[in-house]
Structure 1
Amino acid sequence: MVMGHGGSGTKRLGLPKYAERFAAQGMAALAFDYRRFGESEGEPRQVIDVAAQHEDYRAAVRFVRGYPGVDPERVALWGTSLSGGHVLAVAAADPRLKAVVSQVPLIDGWHRGRNLRQRLNGDVAARTLAFIVAAVRDMLNARRGRPPYLVPVIAKRGKVAVFTEPEASTAFEALGGEPVGWRNELAPRFLFALPRYRKGTAERLTMPVLMCLGDQDLQASSRYAARIASGMPNVQIRHYPVGHFDVYLDPLFDEISTTQADFLREHLCTPPLHGTS
């Protein structure tokens, strides 16, 4: 099981809870940090590069396929939020993968969870404009060879940050926050390079796919994700009446991680020989 986090997330920010749940079902789990984040190398720090993160997934898959004791034909991908979209793109080009789990996926940066009325809300519009200004400043720094202009990932309302919703702060803190190696800062230039869905990708995923969606998700459109999933020939879609960050926390975490572990065990684990336990 190859696992990458979403957005600014690092491998120790909540992923061990999922990995332990999967390992308890007899699967090996590898969680990794993208280049420029966490314990991985790469400069400049805290800069999201979608194409590079796809390659980091592929590098992790190559690693586990060559790891002693791992069956190279029984490797699966797990992703959440931004990486929930990554795993679909990576799997579309690697039919050897045995299964995919995509959790509250951001598949296309133009399809967020807020509807038009919510986006036109004065507070939301003001925060969006302020973030665009920060992203432009960061892009200018990049073109001039200067260090990234970083903004907080989470902050209180009124600040320029990726997330200012109270539930985001609650989730990041509950998952460990900065003490586990995650940094509360990010280069906002990613706004201009969010992933775009390429038509025909879903149809190429022939392996079993489990997609877990939050129907109250304001960060990634669950409706759009379900529409993309409908093009996959072998997909299970699970809907939950929650927001984007609720999937990481109890009480939903236990339910959703158990569902994922059961799905992965079915498709990754070798059935026991007759007469053995």
Structure 2
Amino acid sequence: MSERRDVEFVSGDATCAAWLYRPDTPSERQPIVVLAHGLGGVREMRLDAYAERFTAAGYACLVFDYRHFGASGGEPRQLLDIGLQLEDWASAVAHARTIDGVDPTRVVLWGSSFGGGHVLEAAARDGRVAAVISQCPFTDGLASALATPLITTLRITPLAVRDIVGSLRGKPPVMVPLAAEHRGVALMASTDALDGYLGLQPPGSAFSNEVAARFALAITRYFPGRAAKRITAPVLFCVCDPDTVAPTKATLRHTAKAPRGQIEVYPYGHFEIYVGDPFEHVVADQIAFLERTVPLT
């Protein structure tokens, strides 16, 4: 059995909570995979499943929650800020490089959905990561916005404006759901969003299906896929087709520009990839990629 313990690291003005996984046969200078979730997601939403597989294959893992979410610090709660989350990635990587027994030259970034976009930008900025795994990645804010039902956009926009104005006056955030039924009021309102997203929560989870509405006006200006062409490390792109949240066509356009990219397209939906046979298929490919690009010895 691998070892998992609770750890934390400082990021900006708060502390990020994390799990540190160690393989049961650790090496002197082992590679480490740093993992974080997507839009509003927390560690308990299936990231432990990936970390357990990677650790069983011999890799240490650091799985963290962004500030303002999960067990991490930061006020107000459920505030999704792109700049702050990229700072959290930089802090997580810096912390991973200081962990006893870890080889600081063999740090791998793993992100899914919105986190799958973050790892592209984070890797490009860092310039020293050993490899990247980007699963069902959010790469193009405009494409994702255009995929959102028009009625959803029209209903969320006034809430986002009200949230921004309220924040300037020191008021609590105006919240919107992260996932809702098709054409509902939420950041994700596709046909598979509500059941798929909430289905990732373990029984008894205290997960909060909401986020500060102001984020809805920021998402269209974020294009992490553009960073792919600046990443010198090997990148595995696990792309869903069709993908109702991160449109496949836009994703493939960006991923094709990665100098050392490996693109795998799977016939699974955006939320299917985390569970059951799709999970088994994809995680096996990810382990094979790790063993090829960042071998244990």
| TM-score above 0.5, yes or no | yes
Superposition RMSD in Å: 2.0
* Residue 193 (structure 1) aligned with residue 218 (structure 2): yes
Counterpart Cα distance in 2 of 1:209 and 1:141: 41
Q: Distance in 1 between matches of 2:260 and 2:284?
A: 20
Aligned to 1:207: 233
Distance 1:44 1:178 in 2: 26
Pairing partner for 1:26 from 58, 78, 102: 58
Q: In structure 2, how many angstroms separate the alpha carbons of the residues matched to 1:237 and 1:74?
A: 21
1:167 positional shift: 2.6
Query: Partners in 1 of 2:225 and 2:174 — Cα distance?
Result: 33
Q: CA deviation at 1:100?
A: 0.1
Counterpart pick for 2:111 among 79, 84, 93: 79
Does residue 152 in structure 1 map to residue 184 in structure 2?
A: no
CA contact (8 A) 1:111 1:224 kept: yes
Question: Which amino acid in the other structure matches residue 50 of structure 2?
Answer: Y
Bigger Cα displacement from structure 2, 16-25 vs 161-170: 161-170
Q: Distance in 2 between matches of 1:60 and 1:174?
A: 27
Give the corresponding residue for 1:143: 168
Q: How many residues align?
A: 264
1:202-231 CA distances to partner (integer Å, 9 max, x unpaired)? 222111000011121121122112111111
Supply the distance in 1 between the matched residues of 2:263 and 2:119 (Cα, whole angstroms).
15
Deviating beyond 6 angstroms after TM superposition, the runs of 4 or more aligned structure 1 residues are none
Unaligned runs of 5+ residues in structure 2 are: 1-32
Counterpart code for 2:69: F
Confirm or deny: 8 A CA contact 1:73 1:97 kept in the other structure.
yes
Q: Are the counterparts in 1 of residues 35 and 63 from structure 2 also a CA contact under 8 Å? A: yes
Q: CA deviation at 1:141?
A: 1.4
Is the contact between residue 13 and residue 182 of structure 1 (CA under 8 Å) also seen in structure 2?
A: no
Residue identity matched to 2:81: D
8 Å CA contact retained: 1:6, 1:83:
yes
- Given that 1:114 and 1:221 are in contact with CA atoms closer than 8 Å, whether structure 2 keeps it comes out as no
* Compared CA separation, residues 129 and 255, structure 1 to 2 (3 A): same
Q: CA–CA distance in 1 between the matches of 2:167 and 2:183?
A: 26
Equivalent residue, structure 1, for 2:245:
219
Aligned to 1:55: 87
Question: What are the ranges of 5 or more consecutive residues in structure 1 without an aligned counterpart?
Answer: 272-277
Tell me the residue number matched to 2:41. Answer: 9
**TM-score, length basis structure 2:** 0.83
**Which structure has the highest strand share of the two?**
2
Q: Are the counterparts in 1 of residues 120 and 134 from structure 2 also a CA contact under 8 Å? A: yes
Structure 1 match to 2:283: 257
| Distance in 2, Cα, partners of 1:76 & 1:199 | 18
TM-score normalized by the length of structure 1: 0.88
Q: Distance in 1 between matches of 2:118 and 2:180?
A: 26
